[in-house]
Structure 1
Amino acid sequence: MQHLNGASQERVKKKKASPNRLGATLTLILFMVGLPVLSVIGMEFLERGSMSQTMSWLTANQPLFVLNVILTFCLLALVYAIVGSLAISGAIATAVLGLMALISYMKVKMIGEPFFPWDILLNKESMDIASLVTGKAALIRIIAVIIIVLAVLALRWVIPRVTIPIIARAGLGLISLYALYAFGIKTPLASKVIDHAGVSEIVWDQQQNYANNGLALAFTLNVKNSIVQKPDTYNESAIASAAAGIQQAEVSGATGAGLKKAVSLPAGKKPNVIFIMSEAFWDPTLLTNVKFSEDPVPTIHRLQKESATGYLLSPQFGGGTANVEFEVLTGNSMSFLPGGSIPYQQYVSKPLPSLASYFAGLGYKSMGIHSYEGWFWDRNTVYKQLGFETFKSSEYFTNPEIKGYFISDAEVARNIIAETDKTENPMFIYTVTMQNHGPYDEPRYGENKYKAEGNLSAQAKSILETYTQGAHDADQSLQMLIDHYAESDEPTMLIFYGDHLPMLGMDYQVYKEAGFISTSNANAWTLEENKKMHSTPLVMWSNFTMPKEGLGTISASFLGAHVLDMLQLQKPANFTLDSEVAKQTPGLLGNLVIDSNGELQAKAPESMQPLITDYRNVQYDLMFGKQFLANYIDHEYLTKSSQPNYNSELTAAADGGHAEAEGARKPAASQ
C-alpha cells in the first residue's frame, strides 16, 4: 500500500512539473524573441529620435527589420550561452545595444557619421571628445537606457527560472557566434540572405546606409570594411600601365614650360615649407543671412585678394581631422576607403610615402607640430611611418599659453617661429592647431568681440560668436607668422587652411538658422550645399615672389601636388598622378565630384574613370598591395623606411629635463 501511495505521489509531482516546464519553455521563447524585437525598435528610436520615423522604417523595410532582430537575437543568445541567466543576459545585451545606439546618435548629431566597428579602437580619443559633449536630449536617452537595463535585470525576480543543459547552451552560443561572423565578413550564405532581403550597402554614404538598413545590420556589415578589399582592377600589369602614364606625365611636365610660372628664390636657398591646418577654421562671414559687427578674419580676406587662394574640399565635416591630414600628407583619397574609416587608426602600420619623407629626401628637416597630446589619432606612431624626423606634440611645449580649453594658436605660431629660427636646414613643417576645437556652447573666450546680427536664436547666436572669436585668433596667428617671415632672410612659404567646417550646434543648427543650408538632413542636401559644407578657406603666402593665382576648389588629396608645382619641384610618382587626376577632377569626394569646368556631379562620369581607376590602384598598391609601382618608378622614395632617429631630439631633451629636475630635488651634497 505504501508503494502504491509513493507511485501515486510521483505521478502527481510529474503532472505539476509538466505545466511548470511548459511555462519555463514559453518564457524562454518569448524572452529570446521579444527582447530582440523590442531592442531593435528601441535602438532605431534612440538614433532616429522619432517613433513615427521608426515605425515608418519598420513597416517599409520588414525584411531588413527581421535581419536586425536576428542579429540582436544572436548577440543575446551568445551572452546567454556564456552567462546562463535569462535576465542577466538580457540586461547585458540591452546595455550593449543601448550604448551602440547612444554613441551613434551622438556621433550623427556632432559630425554626421554613425557608430562604426572601428570606432571601438579609438578608446581614449572617443572618450576625450565625449567628455566635451553635453545636451538635454543626450542625457534623456542615457537615463532611458539605464532605466530599461535595470528593468530587464529586475525580471530575474519575476520570470520563471529556466535551465538548459550546458551542451545545448554551448551549441546555441557557437551557432550565434558563427551567424554574427558570417554577416560580419559576408560569407556566401550570408550574402544570399542579405541579397534576398534587399539590403543595399551604401559605403560611400554611411548615414544613409544606417538609415536604410538599421543600426545593428549596418554596423555588422561594416565589420568587413575594417579590411579594405582589393580592387578587381588591381594587378601588376595595371600598375605597370599606371607607371607608364606617370612617366609620360613627368616628361610632358618637364617640357611644358607654359605650365610653370616664375618663382623667384634667393640663389642656392631652399624655402621653408610650412603647412598650417587650423582646427575647424572656416570663414563665418560666408553665412547667408548673418552680419558681424566687424571683420573677424581680416588676414584671410586680404590674402584672398593678394595671393594664391581658393578652397580646400575636405572629406570631413565637424571632426575627423586625421583624415584630412592623411589626404594632404600622402596624396591619397578617403573616397577609396570605407566611409567613416580612420586610416591613422586602421591602416598606417608600415612606412607610407608622404610629403614628409619626400622633403626629408631633399635635405629638409621634416617636423610635425600639434598642440594636443601625441597619442591622439595615433599620431605618435603614424608620423614615424610617414617619414617625419620629429613630432612636437603638446607634451613638448614649455609652459604654453592656454586659451579657452586648449593651447592657443598664438602659442603654436611662436613654436613654428622658434623651430625654423634654430634649425640650420630648411624645414618642412606640418602643423595642426587645437585652440578652436568644439564645442562652442559656452562663451569660453570671455567677452566675444565679434557680434553676430541676423535671424538667429539666442543659443545659435552664442555658439556662432564663440566660434568666431576663435576663428579670429587663428587669423591673427597667421598674421603673426607673416609679420615674422616678412622680416626673415629665410625664404618661407605658408599654406594655411581649415581641416573641416565646425560643428555649430546639433543638427547643423547655426547653418540651418542662417539659411546656409535648406535642411538639417544631410542626405537631402543639394550638390552645391554638399560642396559648401565641405569647403574651407585655403590661402598661401611667401616672402619670395610667387604667382598670384586662383586655385578654385581642390580636394585635400591634391593640395600637396599643387604646392610642389608652385615651388617648381619635381614631383614623386604618386603626387604626379595626383596632378593628372586633379586636371580632370579637382574635387573628388565619395558622393561629390567637381570637374575641370567647375561643374558638380554625384559621381565621376565614364570619361574620367580610367584615370581614377589608376589612382585607386596606385593607392591600394602603396597602402595594402605588393608595391609593384616601386619596381617601375621612384623606387628609393616609394620604399623609404622611417627615420631611425625619429623624435630622438625631443625625447633626449625631455629626458635631460627630467634628469635635471630630479637632480634639483637631491640634497646639495649628493649632486
Structure 2
Amino acid sequence: MRKGGVFMNRLNGILPKWFLSVITVATVFLIPLAILLVNEWLVRDMLNMPVTEWIASFDKRFLLNYVIYLALFGVLYILPRKLYYTMSFLMTLVLLVFGIANRFKLELRSAPVTLDDFRLFREVTGFEFPVEINLGVLTAGVIFSVIVFALLLYMLPKKREWWGVKFIVCVASVLFFFVLWTDRPFSPAQYAGLQKTLWKLEVGMKNNGMLANFVVLAKESEVKPPKGYSEQAIEQVVKRYPVADSTSNNKPNVIYIMSESFIDPYTFGDQHFQKDPVPNFRKYSDESIHGTMYSSEFGGGTANVEFEALTGFSMQFMRPDYVPYQLFLHQPIPALPSLFTQEGYEATAIHGYFAWFYQRNAVYKNLGFHQYISGEFMDLEKPNTPGGAFPTDKHMTDAILETLKYTSSPDFIHAVSTEAHMPYGRQQESEFVKSDALTDEVRPYLNDYVDKVHEADRELGRLLEALESQEEETIVVFWGDHLPSFPNGNELYGPLGTDLAEDWNGDYQDFLTMHSVPYFVWSSKGSEPKQQNISPNFLPAIITELTGIEGNAITAIGQTVMEEGNERIPFAQWPDQEQPQTLAMEDLQLIQHDWLHGERYMEELVGEVAIQEDFHLGLYDSLEIIESTVTETNYEWVLQGAPKYTKVVVNGEPTESFGWQRLEPGLSKFTVPLDQLSKGDQIQFIVYNSRGGELMKSKTVELEK
C-alpha cells in the first residue's frame, strides 16, 4: 500500500506545465473539430454525401457547425481548469452519443434526432435502435476512458488561471447562442444558408450538418399557444361538447383510401377526352355521399392531409411549412384508429413505400394502429428504391383484401395509394386524351398523369367489386390528397393549357380551385346519394356518426362545425376573403394545441390515449418458420409472414443466392442451393429497410445436415 501510495504521489502533477497549454488548445479548438468530423462521418454514409463533399459544397454551413461545437465547449471554459477538462470530457461523450443516436434513427426512420426525442427519454423504445449494441464492449470502453482521463487529471500540474480570458470566451459563447437562437442582431443561419426541409428531415441534415440542423428543428418546434389557452379553457371546451355513447351494433368494416394526386381528369375539361379514364370513380361516387374536399395542400404534402383525415385536427392552425408527422407526433394523440380499436376493431395502416417515410412507422403507433403493412412487407414486382418509382395500387388492393380475410374482428383500414404519384413524364399518346388536345408542350404530361389515374381507378373498381360480393358491410371513404404537380405546371394549369387557374397564390378563387379534390363515402350495402363539401378533418366526425361508434371532443366539434353550415376551416392564407372562425373552430384549435404542443390537460380530463403495445410492421406479427426440408438440390423453408424480399441470412451475412415462391396469402417458400450452405450454418430470415435496419426477423436455426 505504501509503495503504491508513493508511486501515486510521484505521478501527482508530474506532467510539465506546457502540457496544460496543449490540452487547453485541444479542448478549445481541436476536440470540437474532431467530434464534428466524427459525427458527420457517422451519418453521411446514410445520406450519400461524404464529409469532404459536404465541406466543399457547403463551406459556410460547415463553419457554422464548427462554431456551434466551439461554443458548446466555450461555455464550459469559465470553470476551474480540472473541472473544465472533466466537463469537456463528458461533453465529448454526450456529443458522440448524440451522433450515434442520429445514425440509429436514420437507419430506422430516415430522420434525424429532434428536440422532441429528448422529451421522450422515459420511453425506452423512443429511438427503436435497429442494430444490436455490444454493451460489454461499450461499457469496457467507457470505463477505460474514464480511468485514463482520471489518471491524466491527476498527473496535471498546477498553474495560474487566466480568468479574464476564460470569462471572455464564456461570454462570447453565450452571446453566440443568443444570436443563433434569436437571429438578432443578425442571423447566422441565414448567413450560412441553412435550409428548412421540413418535408424531408434527412435532407436538412445532409445539407445543413448534424448540429446546425438540430438547431433549425429545435427552433421550429416552438409553437405559441392560441389566445386564451389554459387548463380552465380546456375544461370548458370539454363541457361544451359532450360525447354520445356508442350506438354501433352492426360494426361495418371501414376502409380509408387516400389516393395520391387523384382528381377527376374531367376537371381539366371533358372536351379534351375521347374516353372516360375513371369510370369506376364516377359510378361509385354518384351513388354515395360525395362532393369537394378542400385540401390544405397542392402538389405535395400528402402526410398533412392524412394527418387531418385521421385526427380531425386542422393544418389551418399551423404554419403552412409544418409537417406534424415529422415535428409533433412523438406521443400518442386521439385519432380515428384508436376510436375504432376501443370498439373492438382491428386497425391496419397500408402504404406501399418505405416504413420510415414521413416516420409513419412511429406515427402510426401513436395514432392507435395495430399494424402497418409497408412496402417492405409487400410482394412488390421490384424492391423500393429511394427516388425510384412508387409501387402500383395492385399491391394496396391485395393488402386490403388479405387483411379483411385474415383478421377475425371488424376492420378499420387506412390505405394510401401511390401509383399516381409524380413525377409525370412526356408520354406521347393516351387512349383517353384526344391527340389534338391542348399543345404539344402540355398534352404529353397530361397523357402520363391520366394513364396513372386510370390504373388507380381500375384498382378502385376491383376492390369495390370484391367488397360488394361479401356478406359483411364495408364503408369505403375515398379521396384525393391534392392536385398533381407537373414540371410545366404554370403552363398546364394556366391559360395556355387547361385554363384551370392562372394565379393560385395571388387569386382567391384560383387558390380554391387548386385546393379542391373529390371524395366519396360508399357502402357495400348501398347508401342514399348526397352532395356535401367538406375538409379532410371533418371525416372522423362523418365516420363516427355513420358507424355509431363513440367519438371524442374532436369529432363532436367537427360535427358542430358542419351543422353550422361550414364546408371547411377557413384557409389561414386568406383572412380577408374567408369567414372568421366560429367558437367551435377556436375550441378545436385549443384542443389541437393542447395535444400537440401544450400541457396535455386533456389527458387529465378524458384519460390517456390507448395505443397498441404490440404494434408491429406487416400483417403478421412475426416471421415463423413453419417447415424445413432438404431436396436433392436445395434446402427449403416455408415461412409465415415473410414477404418477397426477406433476406436469407447465413452466419450473420445476407445471401443473394436463394429463390422465393408465394404459396398462398401469408405463406412463402425460400430455397437455397445445397452447395451454398454447410452443416452447422446458422440460418435466419430478416426483413430489412433501405437503411439496413432490421424490421422483423425469425428465430435462428442450425443446419443439421
Normalised TM-score (structure 1) = 0.62
Could you tell which deviates more after superposition, 368-377 or 303-312?
303-312
Distance 1:221 1:390, change over 3 A: closer
Larger mean CA deviation between 298-307 and 657-666 belongs to 657-666
Candidates 476, 492, 497, aligned match of 1:494: 476
The CA deviation at 1:79 is 7.6
Helix, strand or coil at the partner of 1:580: helix
Corresponding residue for residue 345 of structure 1? 326
Secondary structure (helix, strand or coil) at the match of 1:652 reads coil
Q: Which structure has the higher relative contact order (CA within 8 Å, separation 6+)?
A: 1
Deviation at 1:177, TM superposition (A): 8.6
1:586 counterpart residue number: 567
Matched, 1:422 2:410: no
State the match for 1:48 in structure 2: none
The partner residue of 1:229 within 200, 224, 228 is 224
Q: Distance in 2 between matches of 1:454 and 1:602?
A: 39
Q: CA deviation at 1:123?
A: 11
**Aligned-pair RMSD on alpha carbons?**
4.1
Q: Which residue of 1 aligns with 2:305?
A: 324
Alignment-derived partner of residue 577 in structure 2: 602
Amino acid at match of 2:511: N
Q: CA deviation at 1:631?
A: 3.5
Measure, in 1, the Cα distance between the counterparts of 2:488 and 2:551.
42
Q: Of 520, 538, 545, which residue of structure 2 is paired with 1:558?
A: 538
In the TM superposition, what whole-angstrom CA distance separates every residue of 1:609-648 from its partner, at most 9, and x where no partner exists?
Answer: 4222211111111222233224334x3xx53234334347
Report SS of the residue matched to 1:540: strand
In structure 1, the residue matched to 2:601 is 628
Closer, same or farther in 2 for the Cα pair 1:627/1:77, shift >3 Å? closer
- 1:476 paired residue number: 458
- d(CA) in 2 for partners of 1:80 and 1:639? 42
Gap change, CA 1:654 and 1:276, over 3 Å in 2: farther
Structure 1 residue 374: deviation in Å? 0.6
Contact conserved, 1:274 with 1:431, CA < 8 A, in 2? yes
1:616 and 2:589 equivalent? yes
Residue type at the aligned position of 2:254:
V
Q: Which SS does the other structure have where 1:367 is aligned?
A: strand
Residue 569 (structure 1) aligned with residue 554 (structure 2) = no
Q: 1:273 aligned to 239, 251, 254, which one?
A: 254
Which residue does 2:361 correspond to in 1?
A: 380
Query: For the structure 1 residues 649 and 307, does the alpha-carbon distance in structure 2 shift closer, same or farther, using more than 3 Å as the test?
Result: closer
Match of 1:466 in 2: 448
Contact 1:312 1:556 (8 Å CA) reproduced: yes
Question: 1:410 is aligned with what amino acid?
Answer: K
Q: Classify 1:229/1:616 alpha carbon distance in 2 versus 1 (closer, same or farther; 3 Å).
A: same
Superposed CA deviations along residues 389-432 of structure 1, whole A, max 9, x for unmatched, are 01000111124489993321123212211211222211100000
Amino acid at match of 2:492: V
* Other-structure match for 1:449: 431
Report if the CA contact (8 A) 1:388-1:643 is conserved.
Answer: no
Residues 1:522 and 1:437: Cα distance change in structure 2 (over 3 Å): same
Residue 155 of structure 1 aligns with which residue? none
- Is 1:670 the equivalent of 2:691? no
Name stretches of at least 5 consecutive residues in structure 2 with no aligned partner: 1-57, 71-104, 112-163, 188-195, 200-213, 626-638, 649-668, 680-702
For 1:19, the equivalent position in structure 2 comes to none
Report the counterpart of residue 258 of structure 1 in structure 2.
Answer: none
Q: Does the CA-based 8 Å contact 1:392-1:650 persist in structure 2?
A: no
Aligned residue identity for 2:479? Y
Q: CA deviation at 1:285?
A: 1.0
CA distance in 1, matches of 2:228, 2:59: 39
The offset of 1:174, in angstroms, is 8.1
Determine if contact 1:292/1:453 at 8 Å carries over to the other structure.
no
In the TM superposition, residue 454 of structure 1 has moved relative to its aligned partner by: 6.5
Counterparts in 2 of 1:183 and 1:79: CA distance versus 1, 3 Å: closer
Aligned partner of 1:514 among 484, 487, 497: 497
CA distance in structure 2 between the partners assigned to 1:123 and 1:530 by the alignment:
39
Contact kept in structure 1, 2:369 and 2:615, CA below 8 Å: no
Relative distance call for 1:491 and 1:458 in structure 2 (3 A) is same
1:105 aligns to what? none
Aligned letter for 2:461?
A: Q
Aligned-partner Cα distance in 1 for 2:327–2:250: 39
Farther-moved stretch of structure 1 (419-428 vs 177-186): 177-186
- The separation in 1 between residues aligned to 2:268 and 2:619, in whole angstroms, is 45
Specify the SS of the correspondent of 1:650. Answer: coil
Aligned length: 469
Cα 1:592–1:337 shift into 2, 3 Å = closer
**1:82–1:173: 8 Å Cα contact kept in structure 2?**
no
CA contact (8 A) 2:374 2:617 kept: no
Deviations 1:458-509 (A, max 9, x none): 2321111100001111111111011111111121111111111100224533
Pair 1:639-2:639 in alignment: no
Question: Residue 420 of structure 1 aligns to a residue in which SS?
Answer: helix
Q: Is the 8 A contact 1:531 1:592 kept in 2?
A: no
Residues 670/240 of structure 1: CA separation in 2 closer, same or farther (3 Å cut): same
Q: C-alpha offsets along residues 539-576 of structure 1, whole Å, 9 cap, x if unaligned?
A: 22211243321122x11111121122222333222211
Q: CA deviation at 1:382?
A: 0.9
Q: Deviations over 1:280-321 (max 9, x none)?
A: 111121114851121111122223322211122111111111
1:131-146 aligned at under 5 Å gives the runs none
2:287 pairs with one of 296, 306, 310: 306
Amino acid at match of 1:379: R
Residue in structure 2 matched with residue 137 of structure 1 by the alignment: none
Distance, in Å, in 2 between the alignment partners of 1:329 and 1:416 is 18
Q: Counterpart in 2 of 1:527?
A: 508
**Distance of 2:227 and 2:570 partners within structure 1:** 21
Judged with a 3 Å threshold, the aligned counterparts in structure 2 of structure 1 residues 288 and 185 are, in CA distance, closer, same or farther, namely farther
Aligned to 1:482, the other structure's residue is in SS state: helix
Looking at secondary structure, tell me which structure has more helix per residue. 1
Residues 179 and 450 of structure 1: CA distance in aligned 2, closer, same or farther (over 3 Å): farther
Distance 2:305 2:536 in 1: 6
Report the AA paired with residue 499 of structure 1: D
Alignment partner, residue 113 of structure 1: none
**Which residue identity does 2:397 align to in structure 1?**
A
> What do residues 14-41 of structure 1 show as CA deviations (whole Å, max 9, x unaligned)?
xxxxxxxxxxxxxxxxxxxxxxxxxxxx
Would the aligned equivalents of 2:109 and 2:359 in 1 still touch at CA under 8 Å? no
Q: Distance in 1 between matches of 2:425 and 2:487?
A: 8
Question: Tell me, what secondary structure is at the counterpart of 1:474?
Answer: helix
Go from structure 1 to structure 2 and tell me whether the alpha carbon gap of 1:461 and 1:229 turns closer, same or farther (over 3 Å shift): same
Q: Closer, same or farther in 2 for the Cα pair 1:220/1:313, shift >3 Å?
A: farther
Structure-1 separation of matches of 2:406 and 2:66? 63
Contact between 2:310 and 2:540, CA under 8 Å: does it hold in 1? yes
Separation of aligned partners in 1, 2:68 and 2:318? 36
CA 492–182 in structure 1, closer or farther in 2 if over 3 Å, else same: same
- 1:17-32 matches, cutoff 5 A: none
Q: Distance in 1 between matches of 2:110 and 2:258?
A: 21
* Partner deviation per Cα, 1:69-110 (whole Å, 9 max, x = no partner): xxx9997985897999xxxxxxxxxxxxxxxxxxxxxxxxxx
Greater Cα shift, 238-247 or 570-579 = 570-579
- Given that residues 288 and 528 in structure 2 are in contact (C-alpha distance below 8 angstroms), is that contact kept between their aligned partners in structure 1? yes
Q: Does 1:650 align with 2:603?
A: no
Query: Contact 1:388/1:646 (CA < 8 Å) preserved in 2?
Result: no
Deviations 1:153-187 (A, max 9, x none): xxxxxxxxxxxxxx99x98998699467546446x
- Equivalents in 1 of 2:276, 2:308: separation in Å? 31
Tell me which moved more, 363-372 or 532-541: 532-541
For residues 454 and 530 of structure 1, what CA distance do their matches in structure 2 show?
A: 29
1:347 Cα deviation after fit: 0.7
Partner Cα separation in structure 1 for residue 567 and residue 420 of structure 2? 28
